[in-house]
Chains A and B, each alone.
Chain A
Amino acid sequence: MELTIIHDGKDWVAFDNGVEFRGYTLEELDEKVKAYVLESENFASQKEVRVWMYFNTAVIPEWMRQYMQHYFNRVLVVRREH
C-alpha cells in the first residue's frame, strides 16, 4: 500500500485515492492505518502488509526546497496475527 504523507500544521495526514488518515502524532496516525489495513478486504489474504508513506515536500516552503528536497519516506509494517 502506498500513501502520501504531509503535515498540515496541526496533524500528520496520510492519504491516497479515496482514503485519508489523520493523527496529531505519528503513533495516532499509524494506529488508524493499521486498523484500516487489518479490516480491509483488499489485504485479507496477506500476512504482512508494508505501507509506504512518501512525504510530499510541496508542504515545505519553496525557498527551502533548493537546499534539500527530501524530508522522509517511512514504511509501516502491519502484521496480521492469526
Chain B
Amino acid sequence: MTDLSNRKWYTGMLTQEDWWAVWLGLGFFFLSLLNIWGIDLVGWITYPTKWVFNPPPGGKGDISKAFYALGAKYSLTAKDFYKGLGWWSVLWTYVIFGVATTIGAKCMKWNVKKFIGGWTIIFFLTIATWFIGHHAFFAATKVDWHKYGLNFALSLGGGASFILALIVGLIIGNFFKGLANYLTEAAKPEWYIKTAIVYLGAKLGYLPIKLAGFSHKLGNVASQLTFDLFFAGATATIVAYLIFWPGIYTISRKIFKLPRKTAAVLGSGISICGVSAAVATGGAVRAKPVVSIMVSALVVVWAVIELIVLPGFFTHVWPGTKDPLVGGAALGLSVKTDGADAAAGELLDTFLRSKIQTETNGQVVWPEGIITASAVMTKVWIDVFIGIWAFVLAMIWVYKVERRPGEYVPPSEIWHRFPKFVLGYFTAWLLLLAIFFGPGHSGAPEGAALLKSIKAGVVPVEKGMRKLFFMLTFISLGIITDFKKLKECQFGKMVWVYFVGLFLFIIPVAVIVAYLFHHGMQIPNIAAYVK
C-alpha cells in the first residue's frame, strides 16, 4: 500500500491534488506575467465564440472561427502568430495542458496511461460540449439575435455549455458505467475546480485593471467591490460553523437519533464544506473512515442536485437581477463542495448577465465573473477555517468527550487540513491588486502601458484557462455522480437528515444571511464601454 500519510509540513507538495492546483494555477499565471517584458507564452489558450451554420450577410457566427486562440485578440507581441492558430488552438491547449496535468498525475502516482486516455476523452468531450453550447441558438442574448440571423434564441450565454457538459457527464456516469469507471482516473472535479479558483483569483485581481481601461473611476469601483465581497464573505464563516453546524448536529441527534460521531460528521458535511469537512471531522472525532465515506457519497450527489436547481431558482424566482450578489453569496453558503459551488456560481453568473441584458435591451451589461466571485469568496472563507475547526473539535473530542488518557492532538493538524489552493487564489488576486495600486497607478495614464501588458497576459488565464477548467469540472462532476448510489447505499436516516437540513434550514438561512450582508451591492455597468 502506498504511504499517503502527512508526516512533515511540506508532505504532499508534489503528491496531492490540492498542491497541484496551486502549481498549475500559479505556474500559468506567472507565465502570463512575462508579458510585462513582451514575452507572450499563454496566448495559445483556446476559446469559443458563438456560431451558426449560416451567418447572415455582414453578420457574425462563422463556424470556422468558432474556436480561436485568445492571443489573437489580446496579445501585444504575438498577435499574428496566434491569429494563425484558429481551431488549431484546441490542439495546442490539449497538448500543453495534457503534458502539465500528466506530470501532475505522474507525481501523484496515478496510472499515467489511464490518465492520458481519460484526459483525452474528457478534454475532447469538453470541447465538443463547449462548441455545441455556443451555437447562437443556445448562447446569443436577445440584443445579439439579429447578428446571427435569429428571431429567437434561448439566451443562456455560456451557461448552455456548462449545462450540456454536466448532462453529458451525468449520462456517462449513470448509463455508461464501464466508460465512467475508465474515465475516473482523469475525472477529478476538485482538482480542476481548485485550479480554476486560482485562475479566478487572477480574474478578481484583473477586474480593476479591466475596468480602469474603460475609466479610471470604474477601476477603483471594481477594486472596492472585490474588497466588499471579501469582507462580506467573512460572515459565511460564522454562519457555517456557529449556526449551521450546531443546527444540523442537533437535528441529527434530537430528531433522527443518530450516534454522536455520525451526527458530527454529517453536521460538517452538510453545514461546512462537504466532503472535505466530512473527512476532516471524521478524523477529528476519530470516527471509523466508513462514516466519512458514507456522508461524502451523500454530499456529492446532493451538491449536484443543488447545482442543477439553485442557479435557475436564484435567476428566475428570487433574487434575480435585483440583487445578483445575494444569489451568488447564498450559493457559497449552501452548495457544499467547491466544485459544485463554483460551477453553480458560474452558471448563475452567465444566467444573470444574459437576463439583465435582455431585460434592459442591452442598456445594462455586467462584467463577467463578479457573481461567480461572490459564490466562491464565501466558500473560500468557509474552507480556510476547516483546519482550525477540526482541530478544536478534535480537542473537545479527545480531551472532553472520549477522554482518552495519554492522547495529544498536535497543532500541525491545522496545516495538514488547510486548503492549499487558497494560497494560489490569494496570491494571484493580491499580486495583481498590488500591481494595480503600485506601478499601475490605480489605472491613471502613467500606469496604462504596464496595465495593458498585464491585460495581454492575464486575459488568457482568467478567461480562457478559467473557463476551460470550469468546463472540465462540470463534465467530471457528472461522470463521478452516480445517483443510484443513494438508493444502493440505503443510508435511510442520513438521507432524510440531509434533505430536511438542506432545504428547511441551510438554504433558507443562507439566503437570509446573504441578503443581510450582500443586499444593495451593485455590479458596475459597462454597457457604455463594450460593443
Contacts and interface: CB of A to CB of B under 8 A. Distances in A.
Interface of A: 2, 4, 6-7, 9, 26-27, 30, 34, 50, 52, 54-79
B210 interface: no
B404 A58 contact: no
B18 interface: yes
Interface string B175-193: 0000000001000111100
Q: Which of B16, B275, B280, B406 has the most CB of A within 10 A?
A: B406
B410 A73 contact: yes
Interface of B: 1-7, 12, 16-18, 184, 188-191, 274-280, 282-284, 286, 288-290, 292-293, 296, 337, 394, 398, 404-410, 412-413, 416-417, 480
A35 B278 CA distance: 33
B280 A68 contact: yes
Given A26-B286, A71-B282, A66 B413 contact: no
Given A65-B17, A75-B407, A77-B406, A70 B280 contact: yes
Contacts of A52: 410
11 contacts: A26-B404, A26-B407, A55-B5, A58-B4, A60-B292, A67-B296, A68-B280, A70-B279, A72-B413, A73-B6, A74-B286
A6 B301 CA distance: 27
B417 A70 contact: yes
Given A2-B7, A74-B409, 7 more contacts: A50-B408, A63-B480, A67-B190, A70-B413, A71-B289, A72-B284, A77-B407
A73 B279 contact: no
A76 B407 contact: yes
B5 A54 contact: yes
A8 B315 CA distance: 47
Q: Which A-B residue pairs are the 9 nearest by beta carbons?
A: A72-B283, A54-B5, A67-B275, A68-B279, A68-B276, A71-B283, A66-B190, A70-B416, A75-B408
A52 B410 CA distance: 9
Nearest to A78: B406
A73 B334 CA distance: 30
B328 to A, nearest CB: 22
A82 B176 CA distance: 66
Contacts of A67: 190, 274-276, 279, 296, 337
Contacts of A56: 1, 3-5
B412 A73 contact: yes
Contacts of B275: 64, 67-68
A80 to B, nearest CB: 12
A76 B95 CA distance: 49
Nearest to A26: B286
